[in-house]
Chains A and B, each alone.
Chain A
Amino acid sequence: MNARVPGSAADYLGAFRRISGILPGQHLDWLRQARAEAIGRFSQQGFPTLHDEDWKYTSVASIEKGRFNILPTASDNLLAPQVALHALPDSHLLVFVNGRLDPGLSRPGRLPPGTVLSSLAYQLEQDQDWPEDTLVTYPPASPFADLNLAFMADGAYVRLPPEAALAAPIQLLFITSEANLAVQPRNLLVAGAGSSASIVEQHVALGESSYFTNTVTDILVGSGATLEHHKVQQESPAAFHIATVNVSQAAKSRFTSTSFALGARLARTGIAVKFQAEDAHCTLDGLYLSDGRQHVDHHTWIDHQKPRCTSRELYKGILNGASRAVFNGRVVVHPDAQGSDAQQTNHNLLLSENAEIDTKPQLEIWADDVKCSHGATVGQLDEDQVYYLRARGIGEASARVILTRAFAKEIIDRVGPLSLQERLDQLLQHKLPRQ
């Protein structure tokens, strides 16, 4: 036991004691207990430090020093046009403002019968028989997940009934408008057997203020279901963004994740996929663009617990300025997970001498009949390609922009919903140097 109670952690404990009574779902014994345990662990452990193996390259000291408000202070004057800026034209849209669902701005649209697209807070308040294991599926992987469990106030609850097939994407748009706020959304996405859908989880800001997003998304992919989860992080340049995505896959399910890290001063996304049954497949792709003094971290963990599951992973990064990126790809193949097939690739483009990447594959293989490969590259643009374009009259700066876009495009082209592809393409054009 650690006797030290870090200052900031003690603040969170104090805040929890003050406000826990008004958090949703406190009438549920198991949840009340889980929240109390979570804040207990957190107040003892505090924030992770560089001495924690999992946080070796990412310091969260600035979050610890941040002293963020737990509750939003006032209602906001958010305008619908600002939502329209981010809403995909064809999506089933839920808008969360400062962590709470805003029904007026949301536009769920028509959904197949039995499909639930709702607020988690609402569901917790309504549903007396909430099954515990759908919300606390994983042992919280980090102090941030504990913090989220303690304080979670709202988020999206999506449930697809068996065999439901959604043509249009579900879009969960999180908008933060208040400075110095700790926003802790909790999403639960449950895909019934044989269902299929794409879910976009997008984090944006109004303005450029500093705040702290600490989000957890739990995803359960039923047997034979196909689920895509696209996370688009466009937080304010002064914001902190910590995300935990926990995925649990049933037999023959297919799960695709793409993580686009475009904003925030410090961003860390942890994605853990657990194959709980045979013959499942997951694809984890990601693209991070960083500039200035941004720090962007991806930690992925694919847990091959059962036989004959396959995983494919491709992360790409474009680093400029004095930015820093971290990619840690952990793949664990358990002793009885024979026939596992895992491939992991991480490519990084360093556009500046001052940018830095720490990339680390972490393969732990305890079965013998497996195929596992990994590869990482760190480099600049291919000068032969630059020359070829220039030899056709295309100026050098344009040639470099074309090639940098092409590097990123590979990930964007893997996104299912075309409306999201187009949006990402536009975002990319704004983020990269102009021609």
Chain B
Amino acid sequence: MLDIRNLHVSVDGKPILKGLDLSVKAGEVHAIMGPNGSGKSTLAHVLAGREGYVVSSGEILYQGSNLLELNVEERAQQGILLAFQYPVEIPGVANVYFLKAALNALRRHRGLPELDAIDFLALIRNKLKQMEMDESLLYRPVNQGFSGGEKKRNEILQMVLLEPTLALLDESDSGLDIDALKVVAAGINGLRSPQRAIVLVTHYQRLLDYVVPDKVHVLADGRIARSGGRELAIELERTGYGTPADHPGRQAATP
């Protein structure tokens, strides 16, 4: 489904990704791990199509086509959805209005009739229940005044509502307490399907206790340094990302 070959990306003239290769098949869950600054979020936003990221060489194929030719909304319409690490607050736009606009934009693109307010409300109420979210969050401005956990749940809510083909989750576990983490993980697990690929970008392996990945990759200095199965994540949790000199005492402190 997704093939990234020798991808070089710079931001403000500074190289961030330096020859990244990654291949994700439908039905798979991949975890991209790595220390801060290794380029994890850059990869997520390059896939989503954010402007300001300069691809100097390499290619990204999505379902066999050149993804880089598509703009942000075209990628979303073709099924690529990014759950943001820092969901954006939009004062003045009710969450319910935003969710409905997004769903109907996708439905229009797919040639489906738009949902009216009543049908949409019935649908979204179900999804809210699944994410253990209060209905009042529908009527508040998008992400404004949401707690950290509410923001992350709202991102996963969009995933379960919009049903992407390629789900990208950028640090969807950060800042969550254990109960919220379980809800978020259940939401992600509910997305698993033979037709869908999921890429989790995460600093910690904690989320991977609940969402078990098929493949784990370590991103370091702009490229995939190691790849392996779930056991790689567990090893990383024990040893950390860097050399022991970078993390004095880290190995000793971890049982």
Chain A 397-435 interface 0/1 with B at a Cβ cutoff of 8 Å (1 = within): 011001101110110000000000000000000000000
Question: Shortest beta-carbon distance, A424 to chain B, in Å?
Answer: 14
A370 located at the interface, meaning its Cβ lies under 8 Å from any Cβ of chain B in the complex = no
Among the listed B81, B88, B101, B102, which residue makes an inter-chain contact with A385, where contact means beta carbons less than 8 Å apart? B88
Across-interface contacts of B82 in A (CB, < 8 A): 391
A-B contact count (CB 8 A): 74
A391 x B81 contact (CB < 8 A):
yes
Q: How distant is the Cα of A389 from the Cα of B51 in the complex, in angstroms? A: 14
A390 x B73 contact (CB < 8 A):
yes
Among the listed B77, B90, B93, which residue makes an inter-chain contact with A393, where contact means beta carbons less than 8 Å apart? B77
Given A406-B91, A406-B92, A409-B92, CB of A387 within 8 Å of CB of B105: no
Across-interface contacts of B93 in A (CB, < 8 A): 402-403, 406
B73 x A394 contact (CB < 8 A):
yes
A384 x B88 contact (CB < 8 A):
yes
Question: Shortest beta-carbon distance, A387 to chain B, in Å?
Answer: 6
Q: How distant is the Cα of A382 from the Cα of B158 in the complex, in angstroms? A: 21
Among the listed B49, B71, B81, which residue makes an inter-chain contact with A392, where contact means beta carbons less than 8 Å apart? B81
A392 x B90 contact (CB < 8 A):
no
B106 x A393 contact (CB < 8 A):
yes
B186 located at the interface, meaning its Cβ lies under 8 Å from any Cβ of chain A in the complex = no
A109 located at the interface, meaning its Cβ lies under 8 Å from any Cβ of chain B in the complex = no
Q: How distant is the Cα of A410 from the Cα of B144 in the complex, in angstroms? A: 14
B109 located at the interface, meaning its Cβ lies under 8 Å from any Cβ of chain A in the complex = yes
Q: How distant is the Cα of A398 from the Cα of B71 in the complex, in angstroms? A: 15
A393 x B109 contact (CB < 8 A):
yes
Q: How distant is the Cα of A407 from the Cα of B93 in the complex, in angstroms? A: 9
The binding surface of chain A is classed by DSSP as helix
Question: Shortest beta-carbon distance, A214 to chain B, in Å?
Answer: 34
Interface size on B, residues (CB 8 A): 27
A410 x B73 contact (CB < 8 A):
no
Question: Shortest beta-carbon distance, A347 to chain B, in Å?
Answer: 11
Across-interface contacts of A391 in B (CB, < 8 A): 48-50, 72-73, 76, 81-82, 84
B31 located at the interface, meaning its Cβ lies under 8 Å from any Cβ of chain A in the complex = no
Residue from the set B71, B82, B88, B158 with the largest chain A CB neighbour count within 10 Å = B88
B35 located at the interface, meaning its Cβ lies under 8 Å from any Cβ of chain A in the complex = no
B102 x A392 contact (CB < 8 A):
yes
B162 located at the interface, meaning its Cβ lies under 8 Å from any Cβ of chain A in the complex = yes
B92 x A393 contact (CB < 8 A):
no
A395 x B92 contact (CB < 8 A):
no
A388 located at the interface, meaning its Cβ lies under 8 Å from any Cβ of chain B in the complex = yes
Residue from the set B73, B87, B93 with the largest chain A CB neighbour count within 10 Å = B73
B87 x A388 contact (CB < 8 A):
yes
Question: Shortest beta-carbon distance, B234 to chain A, in Å?
Answer: 32
B91 x A394 contact (CB < 8 A):
no
B90 x A388 contact (CB < 8 A):
yes
B51 x A393 contact (CB < 8 A):
no
Q: How distant is the Cα of A385 from the Cα of B88 in the complex, in angstroms? A: 6
Across-interface contacts of A405 in B (CB, < 8 A): 92
B105 x A395 contact (CB < 8 A):
yes
B98 located at the interface, meaning its Cβ lies under 8 Å from any Cβ of chain A in the complex = yes
A396 located at the interface, meaning its Cβ lies under 8 Å from any Cβ of chain B in the complex = yes
Q: How distant is the Cα of A409 from the Cα of B72 in the complex, in angstroms? A: 26
Q: How distant is the Cα of A20 from the Cα of B102 in the complex, in angstroms? A: 63
Question: Shortest beta-carbon distance, B97 to chain A, in Å?
Answer: 8
Q: How distant is the Cα of A253 from the Cα of B87 in the complex, in angstroms? A: 42
Q: How distant is the Cα of A358 from the Cα of B76 in the complex, in angstroms? A: 40
Q: Which of B196-250 contact A (CB under 8 A)?
A: none
Q: How distant is the Cα of A388 from the Cα of B158 in the complex, in angstroms? A: 12
Question: Shortest beta-carbon distance, A412 to chain B, in Å?
Answer: 10
Residue from the set A387, A388, A392, A393 with the largest chain B CB neighbour count within 10 Å = A393
Q: Which of B98-157 contact A (CB under 8 A)?
A: 98, 101-102, 105-106, 109, 141
Across-interface contacts of B81 in A (CB, < 8 A): 391-392
Q: How distant is the Cα of A387 from the Cα of B73 in the complex, in angstroms? A: 9
Among the listed B92, B101, B106, which residue makes an inter-chain contact with A410, where contact means beta carbons less than 8 Å apart? B92
B105 x A392 contact (CB < 8 A):
yes
Return the chain A residue nearest B168 by Cβ.
Answer: A391
Q: How distant is the Cα of A351 from the Cα of B84 in the complex, in angstroms? A: 27
Across-interface contacts of A389 in B (CB, < 8 A): 90, 98, 101-102
Question: Shortest beta-carbon distance, A404 to chain B, in Å?
Answer: 10
B76 x A410 contact (CB < 8 A):
no
Question: Shortest beta-carbon distance, A408 to chain B, in Å?
Answer: 8
A390 x B91 contact (CB < 8 A):
no
Across-interface contacts of B105 in A (CB, < 8 A): 392-395, 398
B72 x A390 contact (CB < 8 A):
yes
Q: Which of B138-190 contact A (CB under 8 A)?
A: 141, 158, 162
Across-interface contacts of B73 in A (CB, < 8 A): 390-391, 393-396, 399
Residue from the set A385, A392, A398, A405 with the largest chain B CB neighbour count within 10 Å = A392
Q: How distant is the Cα of A118 from the Cα of B87 in the complex, in angstroms? A: 54
Question: Shortest beta-carbon distance, B153 to chain A, in Å?
Answer: 16
Across-interface contacts of B158 in A (CB, < 8 A): 392
A388 x B84 contact (CB < 8 A):
yes
Across-interface contacts of B141 in A (CB, < 8 A): 406
Q: How distant is the Cα of A387 from the Cα of B102 in the complex, in angstroms? A: 13
Question: Shortest beta-carbon distance, A205 to chain B, in Å?
Answer: 30
Residue from the set A402, A405, A410 with the largest chain B CB neighbour count within 10 Å = A402
Chain B 28-56 interface 0/1 with A at a Cβ cutoff of 8 Å (1 = within): 00000000000000000000111100000
Return the chain B residue nearest A435 by Cβ.
Answer: B101
Given A391-B81, A393-B109, CB of A407 within 8 Å of CB of B92: yes
Q: What are 13 sample pairs from A and B whose C-beta atoms fall under 8 A apart?
A: A384-B88, A387-B51, A389-B101, A390-B71, A391-B49, A391-B82, A392-B76, A394-B73, A394-B105, A398-B105, A403-B93, A406-B141, A410-B91
Besides the known contacts A392-B105, A399-B73, 4 further A-B residue pairs in the complex with CB atoms under 8 A apart: A387-B72, A391-B48, A391-B82, A402-B93
Q: Which 4 A-B pairs have the closest CB atoms?
A: A406-B92, A393-B76, A392-B102, A388-B88
Listed in ascending order, the chain A residues whose CB lies under 8 Å from chain B are 382, 384-385, 387-396, 398-399, 402-403, 405-407, 409-410
Listed in ascending order, the chain B residues whose CB lies under 8 Å from chain A are 48-51, 71-73, 76-77, 81-82, 84, 87-88, 90-93, 98, 101-102, 105-106, 109, 141, 158, 162
